[in-house]
Amino acid sequence: MTEFQSALLDWYWVNRRVMPWRKDNHADPYAVWVSEAMLQQTTVAAVVPYFERWMERFPVVEALAEASSDEVMRYWQGLGYYSRARNLLAGAKLVVEHGWPDSVERWRALPGVGEYTAGAVASIAQSLPAALVDGNVERVYSRLAMDGSVGADLKKAAWKWARQNLAVDHPGDWNQALMELGSTVCLPRNPLCGRCPVPDYCKAAQADRVGEFPSPKPKMQWIELNHVTVVPVFDGKIGLIQVEDGAWWSGLWHPPRGDAVEALAILLGDPGVRVGAFNHVVTRHKISLEVRRLDLDLVVGGLRFVPFGELEEWPISAPGRKAIEMILNQGQVLPGLG
């Protein structure tokens, strides 16, 4: 083990945070797998309550494998990127049928498990000598090596560095130490260099140029869209449709939107009454969503009518839920609605 590895591991063993998926500083593959799926595009603080609620309902992989898709979506609701939940469910069924993967390659064969997640579960829960790179590790590497690459070039260089510098005697702790350093000390802005356990090995720190790395990414080019959703109301119920596979929010439910709105307007000859609008973001898309209320005096085929009091139990897309809240609270000002 190098002096660099020893210094970082010694710091980690003293300063590591307590997390629900680290039980006595060791976690089972299922807990790590779920946590890593949830942590994609999300912070630790935001994930903890979702993780605890999920594990209370699905404490072992067998419980998840037996669950329905709708229930899994409901427990994932609020985390976004719902394909992760679908992949967890599909993967759980495979694990129950074939047993736990015992290599990075076999982890990667599960639905939705990429190079990072495979390395995380294999190293942290199974002590296999697997490297990993997330945004934190990329940033730590960029400053240690004073590498000004961006995007795919930075990721490729970081993976090469991570494999070359893996502490094979403690792969799980080493990977977590790198991520912990990036998330608590080597911050994107205003890094806490005075608390860094390895400043002597950081080229950017030695050159007093930490703030220059990683180099800024090219500015994202946003795609602006205008969408319409119609909230059908009938006899104390809301009409919902299930989102088809491959579309945004696939597998979830929401009021008719897009082509479904046009089909409903043609069928009934009524486009609904505009009650407001709000903005939301999906990947690179900035969307202005117009909300209309459509009061019905009969049940319309193709819609699932859900009583107002049962809506909380349904896996509804975030913008769909906001549109419903706007309809049910007409005349009131709600946070985040415009």
| Residue positions annotated with a catalytic role | 36
SS3 assignment, position 107: helix
Does any domain span residue 108?
yes
- Is residue 254 a part of any domain in this protein? yes
The rounded distance, in Å, linking the Cα atoms of 141 and 201 is 11
Locate 145 and state its tokens: 């090596």
User: Taking Cα atoms as reference points, which of 93, 124, 87 lies closest to residue 108?
Assistant: 87
One digit per residue, the tens of pLDDT, for the chain of length 338 reads: 999 999 999 999 999 998 888 765 456 899 999 999 999 888 889 999 999 999 999 999 999 999 999 999 999 988 988 899 999 999 999 999 999 999 999 999 999 999 999 999 999 999 999 999 999 999 999 999 999 999 999 999 999 999 999 999 999 999 999 999 999 999 999 999 999 999 999 999 999 999 999 999 888 899 999 999 999 999 999 999 999 988 999 889 999 998 899 888 888 888 899 999 999 999 899 999 999 999 999 988 999 999 999 999 999 999 999 999 999 987 443 333 33
Last residue of a domain, one of 113, 131, 149: 131
The answer to the question of residue 110 being in a domain is yes
- Domain with residue 96: its CATH number is 1.10.340.30
From 131, 149, 184, the end of a domain falls on: 131
The answer to whether position 109 is within a domain reads yes
- Domain of 101 in residue numbering reads as 16-131
In a domain, 270, yes or no: yes
Burial track 10-46 (b if 16+ CB lie within 10 A, e otherwise): ebbeeeeeebebbeeeebbbbbbbbbbbbbbeeebee
What the block records as the tokens of 261 is 């709105």
Tally of domains in the chain: 2
The reply to whether 24 falls in a domain is yes
Helices (H), 77-195: 83-98, 104-108, 115-126, 135-145, 151-164, 171-184
Count Cβ neighbours within 10 Å for each residue of 146-162 and write b for 16 or more, e otherwise.
bbebeeeebbebbbebb
Q: What angle do CA 29, 47, 109 make, to 5 degrees?
A: 35
Look at residue 245 in the predicted model and tell me its pLDDT.
Answer: 86
Reduced to 3 states, what is the DSSP secondary structure of residue 277? strand
CATH code for the domain of 285: 3.90.79.10
The verdict on residue 337 lying in a domain is no
Q: In the listed set 80, 112, 131, which residue is the last one of a domain according to the structure?
A: 131
Q: How far apart are CA 71 and CA 65, in angstroms?
A: 11
Report the distance separating Cα 256 and Cα 260, nearest Å: 5
Does some domain include residue 178? Answer: no
Q: What is the pLDDT of residue 24?
A: 58
Q: The whole model's pTM is what?
A: 0.80
Residue type, 184: T
